[in-house]
Amino acid sequence: MTYDVAIVGVGMTPVGEHWETSLRDLALEASQNALKNAHFSPNHIDGLVIANALGGTLSYQNHISALIADYIGLRGIEALRIEAADASGGLAIRQAALMIQSGIAKTVMVLGVEKVTDVVGSRRNTGLASFTDVDYEAAHGSTPTALAALLMRRYMHDYNLPLTVFEGFSINAHANGSKNPLAMFRNTIKRGKFADAPVVATPVNLFDSAPEGDGAAAIILTSTENAHHHADSPIIQLIGSGVGTDTLALHERKDMLFLHAVNLAAGRAFSQAVKNPQDIQVLELHDSYTVLSALQLEAAGFAPRGEGWKLAFDGIIEPAGKLPISTFGGLKARGHALGATGIYQAAEITLQLRHEAADNQIPNAKVGMALNLGGLGGTAVAHVFERID
């Protein structure tokens, strides 16, 4: 099958610590931005898919699909929430596309929203640890960051590499984030300063790990036919998508340094899109930890095993390189709004392919990809988008 689905509107809030803004108000802001961007009104929307990871865990608010539908002016509409840790956003886009593809909806809003500042300290860590295998990992005190540290140490050991090979990922993310008004961190990281950053969980330091933040992002999907009818600008079409899963627990994986879920998801998306890694001109990957960036580049076919880091080391991932990544700052600098991250990625790819990315524009981008992970790669979602002039 081929998709017949296009993105016709995007809206985002800044990612950050929005202490004064509730979950529903973040959602409202993003949804209104997306409607305005699409020149749509609420009565154009037939369905609402919410991506949210921790509403039930941190804010004790479940059932937010109906709650938000009502709050953003869509009372009565079909609405659901999808959760798979920080891969919620990518999965929500997938299901929304199927609603259109199957004919039950013409136009669907996909809205990712996350509110982490309702709690601080150990309760927030309990929330983040809920992305791992709680009985076998979190119960022993491990967190996603601690598990990323195990992965990173194993990577450095197996391939005999120093910590500094990861430097390029953070420098690129922060350089790009510095030009994005919605980014959580807009400071740049000086080359050579990476290894001096305070350690979070050896060897992961502050520059390796993305900050979680509050935020909301919305995209509006419609049938390609409807998109052509409404838009005077080029159409950004979803041409391929794939989902893969793996064990949550790292110790259950035969080969910890191969992200099997990413390999499955990317393979399925490339196959459907009839594209290969060489066709991708802009890539938003899930850089929650630098080691995960390297491993994603390898598992998705952008680099050989053990050589993902070279794409950062050689500048290939920078805006002027062959495979620009994290072009608005990525999770690292734009900020990681957990369940909303997959929607931020799709919105950013849309801006790139529309050539509306302002200071973050990758010249002439026509084909882009988003890779969205849950936890340490228990879930992976890949989407390929193409500009149709």
Binding to a copy of itself (CB under 8 A): which residues in 3-42? Answer: 22, 24
Contacting residues for 160 by C-beta, under 8 A, at least 6 apart: none
**Full 3-state SS string of 235-300:** EEEEEEEEEEECCCCHHHCCCCCCCHHHHHHHHHHHHHHCCCHHHCCEEECCCCEHHHHHHHHHHC
Cβ atoms within 10 A of the Cβ of 286, count?
29
Residue 225 binds a copy of itself (CB under 8 A): no
- Using the contact rule CB under 8 A, the part of the chain among 184-192, 214-222, 256-264, 309-317 near a copy of itself is 256-264
Residue 375 binds a copy of itself (CB under 8 A): yes
Looking at 17, 32, 42, 61, which residue binds a copy of itself (CB under 8 A)? 61
- State how far the Cα of 79 lies from the Cα of 67, in Å rounded to an integer: 9
Among positive and negative, which fits the CA dihedral 299, 288, 335, 139? positive
Looking at 73, 119, 130, 301, which residue binds a copy of itself (CB under 8 A)? 130
In the DSSP assignment, the letter for residue 52 is: -
Nearer to a copy of itself, 79 or 353 (CB): 79
| Rounded least distance, CB 356 to a copy of itself, Å | 30
At residue 183, what are phi and psi to the nearest 5 degrees? -75, 145
Binding to a copy of itself (CB under 8 A): which residues in 302-361? Answer: none
Looking at 8, 35, 182, 248, which residue binds a copy of itself (CB under 8 A)? 248
Binding to a copy of itself (CB under 8 A): which residues in 82-111? Answer: 82-85, 87, 91, 94-95, 98-99, 101-104
Nearer to a copy of itself, 170 or 372 (CB): 372
Looking at 32, 178, 188, 245, which residue binds a copy of itself (CB under 8 A)? 245
- Using the contact rule CB under 8 A, the part of the chain among 26-34, 68-76, 175-183, 289-297 near a copy of itself is 68-76
Residue 121 binds a copy of itself (CB under 8 A): no
- State how far the Cα of 201 lies from the Cα of 205, in Å rounded to an integer: 7
Name the burial class of residue 4, with classes exposed (0-12), middle (13-18) and buried (19+) by CB atoms within 10 angstroms of its CB: middle
Q: Given its phi and psi angles, is residue 187 left (phi above 0), alpha (psi -120 to 50 degrees) or beta?
A: beta
- Using the contact rule CB under 8 A, the part of the chain among 6-14, 245-253, 322-330, 355-363 near a copy of itself is 245-253
Residue 79 binds a copy of itself (CB under 8 A): yes
Rg of the chain taking only CA atoms, in angstroms: 19
Residue 78 binds a copy of itself (CB under 8 A): yes
For the record, the structure tokens of 311 come out as: 């794409």
Question: Scanning the structure block, which residue is given the tokens 């990317």?
Answer: 266
Contacting residues for 147 by C-beta, under 8 A, at least 6 apart: 132, 137, 250, 376
- Residues of this chain that interact with a copy of itself (CB under 8 A) are 1, 22, 24, 53-54, 56-57, 59-63, 65-67, 69-70, 74-85, 87, 91, 94-95, 98-99, 101-104, 126-127, 129-135, 138, 242-248, 252, 260-261, 264, 374-375, 378-379
